[in-house]
Structures are given as C-alpha cells and as structure tokens.
C-alpha cells in the first residue's frame, strides 16, 4: 500500500492503483448497485480532459509538455486501456464528483509516469490543479452526460431504422391481407396488414426523429462555467477555446452556452432527450403488446399472427410457446420509462445554483 494525503488526512491506497485517495474513499463508501458508470460516460470525461488540457496550453496557463502528457493519458482512458478509471459504483455522491475525480486521478498518475514521475506523488501534474484546471464537477459532469447521450443516439437511430425497414418490408408483403380492425377490443372496420405494419413503421420513424431532434440542444455546453456557471478560476477565453477543442475531439460541433449559469442550473435539454426516448419506448411497447395479442392462441385466441419460436414457453405444458421477444422488449421499454421518471425527479431536486 502507498499513503496519500488529502483534505481529510492520510489514506492508504493500493500501490499499483492508478487512482488516488479520493477514489479510495469513494470505494469504501459507495457499494450500492454493483454496476460501474457507463463506459461512454468515462470516455466522455476523458475526452473533456484532453480538450481542456489543449485549451489551457493554448491559453498559456498549462505547460505544453504537461498538456501533451495529459492528452496521452486521456486517450488511454477513453480507449478503455485504464480500467482503474471506472472502479466506482454508479450510485454515488451528487454531481458525479467521485467518478470525475477517479478519472482525474488516473489521468494525473498516467501523465506523471509518462514524464518520469511516480504514482501517488502527483508531481508535476496534480489531478485538481492541472487535469481539472478551469473546470469543476459542476460543469464537467453535465457536459460528459451530453456527450454520452450524443454518442449513444447514433446506434439507437440505426437500430430503430432497421426495425422500421423490417416493418415496411412486412407492409409491402402483406399489403393485400385484410383483417378485422378493432377498437376497444371489439370488431370495428376492415384494415389491411399492410396498413397496420406501415403504421408501426411510421410511428417508429416519427418517434426517432423527435429523439434525434433533441441532439441540437445537447451540443450546447457549459464547460468552463466551473462551480456555479460564472467561470470563476477559469481563463476568460477558456469556454470558447475548450468548446472548439472538444468539438474537434468528438467530431461534432459543440457550442458554448450563452449562459453557463443556465446550463449549470437546468438540465432541460437532457430532460427533453429522456422524454423523447420515453416516447419511442411507449410506441415500441404498444407495438409489442399488439403483436402479442394478435398472436394469442393458437386455438382460443386471435391467432392472426405466428411469431418466431425462440424457446419453449413452459416448464409444465409441453408444446406451449410464448411470445418471448415482444415480452423482453416490453420489459426494456418499461425500464426506459422508469429511468425517465427518475431523471425528471432528480432534475427537479437540483437545489439553487446546481442541478
């Protein structure tokens, strides 16, 4: 073990650990979910650190050699080559401070080793004074969450488009197959399966477009606003400079917020993204429920559709097959709706100058 000193005193840290005293204290305090932070969030933190180091070097407040070492270390973290940067439980203290400091400490130790230093000495590069220069958990974490959302929207849009395409293919194949239309679970008027599947496809298209539309506001960042959005301790030109550097790093055009106080105080863009995701989940869950109902039976239900058989459906009734895939998708959709509610509650509980 090695011994590190912080504001609370001396703390023993495993000798080979890339993290430091702050992370060690958090490891001993938070063990609630058994799940680490999402890898995309850790990548986002690392990319912010790289962009911040470059911006601070350009502004003359960080030596270029130190900035290059920090950037090199941040690249290793972003590439998943420093597992010690994601050792904490996902449920932790507010503002994401423990994971943010976990990343700061790992980057500082890697950078110092790059420069010939030793782990835990934080010479010449300190996790707070240099890796976190001009930043705070209060502006870094909201920015990291935005970057994570932007990264994950891409694959989601692709998968939604694939599902939409599959329904459009079914609509073309079954365009002339007439079925009873039903409202209130009672027979209504005829409709074709081509029209039904086209409706499914279009609902996915519109819900996904609504979700993607939220990306515009996610690209507005308050990085450099530091503790309460006023930019205290940061260089006056840091906000504009770091937005340019981070845009280059993530391959998207990011814009500094008109008011970093607002981005620190309000999480409305993230709420909009979550609400749009909930809308997609609700439409998808309804599609799954309709498919299950239309495939019910086979002898005493509607029995209009036959879903693919992926597993036996019962431990007691031989030959029974359940609609397993729609059931699993519904569970995922309900979880997404639950996450949205949790996000709304958390955003409403951000007190005073910080959310």
- Confidence at residue 299, expressed as pLDDT on a 0 to 100 scale: 87
Catalytic residue from among 38, 184, 266, 324:
184
Q: What ranges make up the beta strands (E) of the chain? A: 2-6, 9-13, 178-183, 186-192, 220-221, 255-256
Tens-place pLDDT, residues 158-217:
999 999 999 999 999 999 999 999 999 999 999 999 999 999 999 999 999 999 999 999
Task: Answer yes or no: 339 catalytic.
Answer: no
Tens-place pLDDT, residues 107-146:
999 999 999 999 999 999 999 999 999 999 999 999 999 9
Domain 2-133 in CATH 1.10.357.10: no
* Domain range 142-348, CATH class: mainly alpha
- Band (326; pLDDT cuts 50, 70, 90): very high
* Bond from prior residue into 124 cis (ω within 30 degrees of 0): yes
User: CB of 54 within 8 A of CB of 71?
Assistant: yes
The CA distance from 222 to 253, in Å, is 14
Instruction: Compute the mean pLDDT over every residue in the chain, rounded to the nearest whole number.
Output: 96
Backbone angles phi, psi at 162, to 5 degrees: -65, -45
Give exposure, 203-228, as e/b (b: 16+ Cβ within 10 Å): bbeebbeebbebbeebbbbbbbbbbb
How many beta carbons lie within 10 A of that of residue 328, not counting itself?
12
Task: Answer yes or no: 341 catalytic.
Answer: no
Query: What string of DSSP letters covers 131-185?
Result: ITTT--HHHHHHHHHHHHHHHHHHHHHHHHHHHHHHHHHHHHHTTT-EEEEEETT
Quote the radius of gyration of the chain (alpha carbons, Å).
Answer: 25
Tens-place pLDDT, residues 44-97:
999 999 999 999 999 999 999 999 999 999 999 999 999 999 999 999 999 999
Catalytic residue from among 314, 315, 339, 341:
314
- Confidence at residue 73, expressed as pLDDT on a 0 to 100 scale: 99
End-to-end CA distance of the chain: 37
- Band (238; pLDDT cuts 50, 70, 90): very high
Query: Where do the domains of the chain lie?
Result: 2-133, 142-348
- Confidence at residue 117, expressed as pLDDT on a 0 to 100 scale: 97
Backbone angles phi, psi at 296, to 5 degrees: -65, 155
């Amino acid at each position: 073990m090695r011994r590190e000193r912080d504001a609370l005193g001396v703390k023993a840290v495993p000798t080979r650990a890339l993290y430091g005293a702050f992370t060690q204290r958090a490891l001993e305090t938070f063990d609630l979910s058994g799940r680490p932070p999402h890898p995309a969030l850790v990548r986002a933190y690392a990319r912010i650190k790289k962009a911040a180091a470059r911006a601070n070097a350009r502004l003359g407040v960080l030596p270029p050699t130190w900035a290059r070492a920090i950037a090199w270390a941040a690249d290793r973290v972003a590439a998943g080559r420093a597992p010690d940067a994601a050792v904490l439980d996902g449920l932790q203290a507010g503002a994401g401070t423990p994971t943010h400091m976990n990343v700061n400490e790992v980057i500082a130790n890697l950078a110092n080793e790059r420069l010939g230093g030793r782990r835990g000495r934080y010479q010449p590069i300190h996790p707070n004074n240099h890796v976190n220069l001009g930043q705070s958990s209060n502006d870094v974490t909201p920015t990291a969450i935005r970057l994570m959302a932007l990264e994950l929207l891409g694959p989601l849009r692709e998968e939604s488009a694939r599902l939409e395409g599959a329904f459009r293919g079914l609509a073309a194949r079954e365009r002339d197959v007439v079925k009873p239309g039903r409202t209130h679970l009672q027979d209504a008027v005829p409709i074709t399966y081509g029209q039904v599947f086209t409706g499914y496809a279009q609902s996915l298209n519109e819900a996904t477009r609504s979700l993607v539309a939220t990306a515009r506001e996610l690209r507005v960042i308050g990085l450099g606003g530091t503790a309460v959005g006023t930019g205290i301790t940061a260089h006056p030109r840091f906000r504009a400079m770091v937005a340019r550097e981070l845009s280059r790093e993530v391959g998207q055009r990011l814009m500094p917020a008109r008011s970093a106080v607002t981005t620190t105080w309000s999480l409305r863009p993230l709420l909009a993204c979550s609400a749009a995701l909930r809308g997609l989940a609700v439409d998808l869950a309804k599609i799954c429920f309709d498919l299950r109902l239309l495939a019910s039976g086979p002898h005493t239900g509607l029995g209009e559709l036959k879903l693919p058989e992926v597993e036996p459906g019962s431990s007691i009734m031989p030959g029974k097959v359940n609609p397993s895939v729609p059931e699993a998708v519904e569970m995922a959709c309900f979880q997404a709706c639950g996450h949205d509610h949790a996000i709304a509650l958390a955003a409403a509980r951000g007190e005073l100058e910080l959310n």
